[in-house]
């Protein structure tokens, strides 16, 4: 038996796990802070620019069967969501490490 997940499914699972990690494991609840959203909106243009550059030069090519098909700056929306999850995870981990000293 072969178990396969699409990029969309992996992205959704990553987002759910990261939100759970932030809220219940590190107990930071960064999504409810203005500081997180301010930081995210500083990072977002660079993520979009990088995604556009990688996909327009065909450095990264996506299998159309593995994604929804909606694109932003040339990259699948899944990239934006996955990037959001990674940023949240790193910031949450950073916050928890900083609190401990």
Q: What string of pLDDT tens digits covers the 101 residues of the chain? A: 888 888 999 999 999 999 999 999 999 999 999 999 999 999 999 999 999 999 999 999 988 888 999 999 999 999 999 999 999 999 999 999 998 86
Nearest alpha carbon to residue 85 among 43, 27, 34: 43
- Asked whether residue 25 is assigned to any structural domain, the reply reads yes
Beta strands in the chain (DSSP E): 71-72, 75-76
| Residue 1 located in a structural domain | no
In a domain? residue 34: yes
Position 70 in a domain:
yes
Distance, CA of 81 to CA of 58 (rounded, Å): 21
First vs last C-alpha separation in the chain: 47
Which domain range does residue 23 map to?
A: 7-100
Residue 57 lies in a domain: yes
Question: Has residue 12 been placed in a domain?
Answer: yes
pLDDT at position 100: 80
What is the number of alpha carbons within 13 Å of residue 13 lying toward its C-beta?
Answer: 6
Query: How many structural domains compose the chain?
Result: 1
């Amino acid at each position: 038996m072969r178990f396969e997940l699409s990029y969309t499914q992996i992205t959704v699972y990553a987002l759910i796990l990261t939100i759970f990690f932030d809220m219940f494991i590190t107990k930071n609840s960064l999504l409810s802070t203005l500081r997180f959203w301010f930081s995210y909106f500083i990072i977002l243009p660079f993520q979009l620019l990088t995604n556009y550059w990688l996909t327009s030069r065909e450095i990264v090519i996506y299998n159309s069967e593995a994604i929804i098909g909606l694109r932003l700056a040339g990259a699948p929306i899944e990239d934006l969501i996955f990037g959001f999850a990674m940023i949240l995870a790193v910031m949450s981990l950073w916050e928890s490490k900083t609190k401990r000293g």
